Amino acid sequence: MKESLKYQKASDIFSKEPLWIAVNDEDRKEIFRDCIDFVARRDKEKKEEDRKRDIAAFSHVLQSMEQITYKTTWAQAQRILYENPQFAERKDLHFMDKEDALTVFEDHIKQAEKEHDEEKEQEEKRLRRQQRKVREEYRLLLESLHKRGELTSMSLWTSLFPIISTDTRFELMLFQPGSSPLDLFKFFVEDLKEQYTEDRRLIKEILTEKGCQVIATTEYREFSDWVVSHEKGGKVDHGNMKLCYNSLIEKAESKAKDEEKESLRRKRRLESEFRNLLKEHNVDKDSEWTVIKPKIEKDKAYLAMENDDERETAFNHYKNGTSGTTAGSEILEKKKKKKDKKKKNKRSDNNSESEGEIREKEKKKKKKHSKEDRMDDEERGKKSKKSRKRSPSRSESPRHSSEKRKRRESEAD
């Protein structure tokens, strides 16, 4: 009994069988159809079981073959399979459905690719962890140099290279991709420079707590001792400390200069008031200090002077017809002398020109004037033609032409 067997053919085959004859024709046909359906289901189930068995066996064979990788093509796989003893023993696999075999092979390749990608990703992660560890070790080297004060925000690669290049952590950095040792050094220094604002604030807090003040004569060693001796001073970068010191010293010097200028202005003002006081008491060259002093010692201008030596000195200067040379007057005198010297040098440079150069300049000047005269004559001729067309009887007055000639000569000069 097969699924393809027809009822007429079955009737010819079983016509002499007693069971076949014992059943009427209608019942035989119905029973035959039921039997055919059963055989069809049975054969289909068996075929599906055989297919699943072959697929599992073929997949197992592929997995056991190391020669087949994620790069292997189907044509290459077929040649490898026929050379494999395990595949050769399974004769049933030779008659396996080609489409099923190709599907199993594709699934095997996809799994191999997935495993390869996972292995590659794991390897990349491992390499990244290793490279990150090397960079962290190198950064620890830079931090150790920073703690010792050898690496600061003002450090240069050329100055620290002899120290860094002898360390094994520097050598390991050279054998991996990504940021170079120089790049990480620059990043580290940039971070220190960006820390300047915070370091400056911290330094000011330390100086305030210690009650220390930076003046123009404060040395860097003294300033550094103030900062480092504080518990928070270890966080401050030495390069930023130096920059902060320079800034504070510059401010202190500027303040001292301003105070000195203010003191000088105040001194000149007091001297001027004192001279006016002497003038009011008609001091002359015959006056004596011992006589004038009792008369003015209660006056504000007298009391404003610091001591008797300054008062007597100012008195003598006034008495001798001089008001004393102050710092301001000295500066003005020096500037005046410099200006006079520059003018004198300029005149001497002009006088030192050679006679040939002077003649050459005069020739150029004459040529320029003659060219301008020609242009003026041409322009005047054109204007005269126009004026003749407009009013033939009217002519230019001598006075008007002389004024024009004078103006032209002055312009040429």
The Cβ of residue 89 has, within 10 Å, a number of other Cβ atoms equal to 9
DSSP string spanning 246-302? Answer: HHHHHHHHHHHHHHHHHHHHHHHHHHHHHHHHHHHTT--TT--HHHHHHHHTTSHHH
pLDDT on residue 382:
55
pLDDT of residue 258: 87
pLDDT of 362 reads 62
- pLDDT, position 327: 40
DSSP 34-83: HHHHHHHHHHHHHHHHHHHHHHHHHHHHHHH-TT--TT--HHHHHHHHHT
Q: How many CB atoms lie within 10 A of CB 245?
A: 19
CB atoms inside a 10 Å sphere around CB 270 = 18
CB 241 within 8 Å of CB 224: yes
Helix axes 238-280, 196-210, angle to 10 degrees: 60
pLDDT for 138: 92
Whose structure tokens read 């027809």? 6
pLDDT tens over the chain, length 413 residues = 888 888 888 888 888 888 888 888 888 888 888 998 998 898 888 888 888 888 888 888 888 888 888 888 988 888 888 888 888 777 777 778 888 889 988 999 999 999 999 999 999 999 999 999 999 999 999 999 988 888 888 889 999 999 999 999 999 999 888 889 999 999 999 988 888 888 888 888 888 888 888 888 888 888 888 888 888 887 788 888 888 888 888 888 888 888 888 888 888 887 787 778 777 777 777 777 777 777 777 777 777 777 777 777 777 887 777 444 444 445 455 656 666 666 556 555 444 444 455 566 666 655 555 555 565 555 555 555 555 544 444 444 445 455 656 565 555 54
The pLDDT score that the predictor gives to residue 358 is 55
pLDDT for residue 357: 57
pLDDT (0 to 100) of residue 328: 43
Residue 233 gets which letter from DSSP?
G
